Amino acid sequence: MNKLISVDALSWSVNKHNILNGISFDICQGDIIGIIGPNGAGKTSLLKCLLNQHKNWQGTIKLKNKALKQYKPHQLAQIFALVGQNPPAIFDLKVYDVVRMGLLPYKALFAHDNQADKKAITQALEKVGLLASQQQFFNTLSGGEQQRVLIAKALVQKAQVLILDEPTNHLDIFYQHQILQLVKALNITVIMTIHDLNLAAQYCSRLLLLNKGHLVSNASVTKVLNPELLSQVFALPCYRDDAQPNGVPRVYFYPPSDDNHNHAVTQRWQVTGTTK
Ligand SMILES: Nc1ncnc2c1ncn2[C@@H]1O[C@H](COP(=O)(O)OP(=O)(O)OP(=O)(O)O)[C@@H](O)[C@H]1O
């Protein structure tokens, strides 16, 4: 498979506080990468470095064999599409107009749409099942529908890499699967942060496990969902069931006895400064 992104010894710190520490990994075209780990592990910070939104990171990030820092913002916008944690508050735009914003890396804001543009918008709306809602105001849609509109915008953007920060945030189980099925069916490279390890296992081709700013594991779902490793990282007893009908392992976490729990909470507090 073609190597699309190559990250070598990536570090990022704020006020001498190391947030990402010497992270290295490669992403190939077509990978669906799940970035997992506890709160504060550095998942979103890693995405922001990949998008070059943090400027002062150290190390090397190469995109298609060219240093990330050599890309101009509009060039990055033609490669990456970001669907953030919470859909933006867009009050006065209709669904069609939000999807149309995907054309902006290619044309001026008030330029007229040609037939090809209109077709691209219509096809993207069709793909996410929202063609009938194109004249509805974006802010009147449900959370799941808003996520689907933003994915349609990414399709119009002809993004080669779709970056999703907690795409299943606030969604019920039906929409969680619907969004991830949709993302998988796009057949493009996907990098997402995700807290639900079992959803990640179902939809990702590879997982990156972060803890305290370190890349603890970068491997297949079966290898990364190692109960001993997960117990250490999440400070909770973890069990794994491999006898699932879909063949994907499932992990479970259980509350420990009070003493262990207090110890684990203290450990997380000491390391991250938070128990969130
Ligand atoms: N701009 C910033 N300035 C200072 N500290 C920051 C900044 N961005 C992130 N951090 C800190 O870096 C650490 C990692 O944050 P990040 O948001 O990357 O974690 P995360 O793994 O995405 O967490 P969560 O699961 O809670 O979303 C946290 O301690 C956070 O407070």
From the list 185, 187, 162, 156, the residue with the least C-alpha distance to 79 is: 162
Looking at residue 263, its pLDDT comes to 58
Pick the CATH number of 3-225 from 3.40.50.300, 3.90.480.20, 3.30.450.20, 2.40.50.140: 3.40.50.300
pLDDT at position 85 is 75
Alpha-carbon dihedral of residues 163, 168, 174, 179, nearest 10 degrees? -10
Report which protein residue has its CA nearest ligand 1's atom 31: 40
Q: Residue 63: in which H helix or E strand, if any?
A: strand 58-63
Question: Is the predicted pLDDT of residue 67 greater than 80, yes or no?
Answer: yes
For the stretch 7-24, pLDDT in tens is 999 999 999 899 999 999
Residue type, 101: M
Q: What is the pLDDT of residue 202?
A: 96
Count CB-CB contacts under 10 A for residue 25.
16
What ipTM did this prediction achieve? 0.98
Q: Which of 11, 44, 47 to probe ligand 1 with, by most ligand atoms within 8 A of CB?
A: 44
pLDDT at 261: 57
Query: Which pLDDT value is given to residue 276?
Result: 34
> Hey, is 262 helix, strand or coil?
helix
Token pair of 103 as six digits: 């054309």
Q: Is-contact 218 37, C-beta < 8 A?
A: no
Q: What is the predicted pLDDT for the residue at 255?
A: 80
The rounded Å distance from CA 64 to ligand 1 centre is 27
Residue 275 has pLDDT above 60, yes or no: no
Nearest alpha carbon, ligand 1 atom 4? 14
| pLDDT tens per residue, range 178-231 | 889 988 988 899 999 999 999 999 999 999 999 999 999 999 999 999 999 999
Alpha carbon 225 to chain centroid, angstroms? 18
Ligand 1: centre distance to CA 130 (Å)? 34
H, E, C per residue of 205-256: CEEEEEECCEEEEEECHHHHCCHHHHHHHHCCCEEEECCCCCCCCEEEECCC
Instruction: Give the phi and the psi of residue 199 in degrees, each rounded to 5.
Output: -65, -45
Name which residue leads in pLDDT, 115 or 211.
211
Whether 25 shows a pLDDT value over 60: the answer reads yes
Model pTM score: 0.87
At 46 the pLDDT is 97
pLDDT 10s digits, 136-186: 999 999 888 888 899 899 889 888 999 999 988 877 888 889 889 988 988
The encoded tokens of residue 106 equal 């290619």
Structure tokens given for 41: 């592990």
What does the alpha-carbon distance between residue 206 and residue 158 come to, in Å, rounded to a whole number?
Answer: 23
Which of 19, 47, 210, 269 best tests ligand 1's pocket when mutated (most atoms within 8 Å of CB)? 19
Protein residue with least CA distance to atom 1, ligand 1: 14
112's tokens: 């007229």
Cα 45 to averaged position of ligand 1 atoms, centre (Å): 6
Pocket of ligand 1 (CB under 6 A): 14, 19, 37, 39-45
Q: How far is the CA of 10 from the centre of ligand 1 (A)?
A: 16
CA distances from 109 to 66, 112, 117, 118, 153 (A): 29, 9, 13, 15, 15
**Distance between CA atoms of residues 258 and 80, nearest Å:** 45
Report whether 156 contacts 120 (CB < 8 A): yes
Supply the pLDDT for residue 108. 67
How big is the chain by its Cα radius of gyration, in Å?
20
Please report which confidence band the pLDDT of residue 87 belongs to, taking 50, 70 and 90 as the band edges.
Answer: low
Query: Where are the domains positioned within the chain?
Result: 3-225, 226-276
Torsion of CA 190, 202, 241, 171, to 10 degrees: 100
| H-helix segments, 80-219 | 95-100, 115-127, 143-156, 173-185, 197-203
- How close is the Cα of 168 to the center of ligand 1, in Å? 19
